[in-house]
Amino acid sequence: MQVYHLYSGGKDSSLSAWILTRLGYDVKLITVSFGLLDSWKYARDTAEKLGFEHQVLHLPGEILEKAAEMCIRDKHPNNAIQFIHEKALEEVAKIAPRVSDGTRRDDRVPFLDLSKARSLEDRFGVQYIRPLLGLGYKTVRELTERLFVMEIKESERLEKSDYEVELRHLLREMGVDPLEIFPRRHYQSRVAGWR
């Protein structure tokens, strides 16, 4: 039972990957790249530390450009992040029988509602699996603390592989300050290995 799991190297996507293996799935981690930066390397690094197979999925730069325009129009990144995530799921669904991500019950973005989730499954003939959807933040925190050594750094200095990194970079290239778009977070966490 092979599943392709969208992976950023963060705690949610790492916890989901662990759950999938516990349920008997053969898990391949997939990190999206638009070819602008090599930020996917941080996810690769964490994947290797955790012992997972990892692959980079290259998506067309036009998707990132459209997302940047959405950010500028909205002065907020939510629709842009949602847009990228849906495109990423669709691309993975073209090549895998089962696709998965680390979205949680308490997440607002990215998040596929019931009709979008069913539409993804129906259009591509895949299973869409979200191991964390039925878990609240306390449950996620308890499990991640048991499983992983976490690294907490100031946001600016943390090496991450999520969509935000290349999106911020493109906005800067377009002359837009990402701090006017993205909410400020002082600290962010990243999985450094198994406990």
**Smaller CB distance to its own copies: residue 10 or 71?**
10
Smallest gap from residue 188 Cβ to its own copies (A): 24
Among the listed residues 4, 3, 11, 2, the one whose alpha carbon sits nearest the alpha carbon of residue 161: 11
Residues in a beta bridge with 129: 100
What CA–CA distance (Å, rounded) separates 95 from 168?
28
Q: Residue 174 carries which side chain, given as an amino acid letter?
A: M
Q: Which of 2, 23, 53, 194 binds its own copies (CB under 8 A)?
A: 23
CA distances from 49 to 35, 98, 109, 168, 195 (A): 24, 24, 27, 27, 11
Burial of 175 by CB count in 10 Å (0-12 exposed, 13-18 middle, 19+ buried)?
exposed
Q: Which stretch binds its own copies (CB under 8 A): 53-61, 126-134, 166-174, 186-194?
A: 126-134
Q: Which is nearer to its own copies, 24 or 175 (CB)?
A: 24
* Candidate list 55, 78, 119, 127; residue touching its own copies; CB under 8 A: 127
Q: Which of residues 128-147 bind its own copies (CB under 8 A)?
A: 128-136, 138-139, 142-143, 146
What is the binding site for its own copies (CB under 8 A)? 1, 19, 22-24, 98, 105-106, 114, 117-118, 121, 127-136, 138-139, 142-143, 146
